[in-house]
Amino acid sequence: MADCPWIIQVAEATFDREVLQRSQQTPVLVDFWAPWCGPCRTLGPILEKLAREMEGRFVLAKINSDENPRLGQRYNVRGIPTCKLFSKGTILDEFTGAKPESAVRQFLDQAIPSDADRAAVEAEFYVRRGDLDRAIEIYQQVLAEYPNHDVSLLGLASLLVELGRGQEAQPLLDRLGTKAAESQEAKLLRAKLAFSGSEGDVAALQAQLQQQPHDLTLRLQLGAALVGCDRLVEGMEQFLEVIRCDRSFQDGAARKSLLQVFDMLGPTHPLVMQYRSKLSSIWFS
């Protein structure tokens, strides 16, 4: 451990300096362990690996409980291994027992934001203030250093869609990790992109459809145009009508469009529940 500045051995005599004072600048994860403890031997290498990997996001302070029993009593350690995360001199979070690497990583990511996470929070602050140019600049700076930072990818894509720059947003959504790509926010953005630029001349499309009521391509175009200008119910009704006529038309384009509207509104929206029922009644009739 001597080769890693982020892993230290701590005893009662050095605890205040190495943990409480050090945590004023950098979070310190205290690992209460003992040589005879099997779960400690499982957890210890995981903690050390993550300390090296995260390169200073936190300091790992290892405390041999057998040699420092009063520290365990002082911090109410009832079993080992126990890990307590100190920040600004106080316990920020903790867990007891051996955990797999994925769970420890999640614990640390939630409790200790990375530089990229902190920058994304700053960008969101500027969004709330209405300074979108500054927010975009910050997101771009983050992504220049961390190209796959999902929070920044979503944040920047959302701003670009809002500003009508959907062509720039799509490549950002394509870079999302699996979990982020399946998030409600990503689904919403993809749905907005699908209908952006579809605000065609609704009146003209309606007039054409009156002349050609069996033209399903026109009906799909009208549905997209209606959704694009926030006339959601009328647009969804057009999609349903296409499905009634030919559910496989253009490889099921009407059903796909309807599902994109559902994604845009979110699963609990009253219109989604209403039109899911309508879709099911047609689809399974």
Residue identified by tokens 């099911």 is: 280
Instruction: Read off the tokens for 257.
Output: 């469009």
* Dihedrals phi, psi of 174, to nearest 5 degrees: -70, -20
* Active-site choice (4, 40, 83, 229): 40
111 burial (CB, 10 Å; 0-12 / 13-18 / 19+) is middle
| Pick from 184, 197, 201: nearest CA to 272 | 184
59: helix, strand or coil: strand
Cβ neighbours, 10 Å, residue 254: 26
Compute the half-sphere exposure of residue 250: CA atoms within 13 Å on the CB side of its CA: 15
Q: Distance (Å, rounded) from C-alpha 120 to C-alpha 57?
A: 17
- The yes-or-no answer on residue 37 being catalytic is yes
Q: Which amino acid is at 75?
A: Y
Q: Distance (Å, rounded) from C-alpha 61 to C-alpha 42?
A: 16
Q: Which amino acid is at 111?
A: A
Q: Are 148 and 175 in contact (CB under 8 A)?
A: yes
Q: Distance (Å, rounded) from C-alpha 51 to C-alpha 60?
A: 6
* Active-site choice (4, 37, 83, 245): 37
Residue 12 is classified by DSSP as G
Reported in sequence order, the residue ranges of the chain that DSSP labels E, i.e. its strands, are 7-9, 28-33, 59-64, 82-87, 90-96
- The yes-or-no answer on residue 40 being catalytic is yes
Active site residues: 37, 40
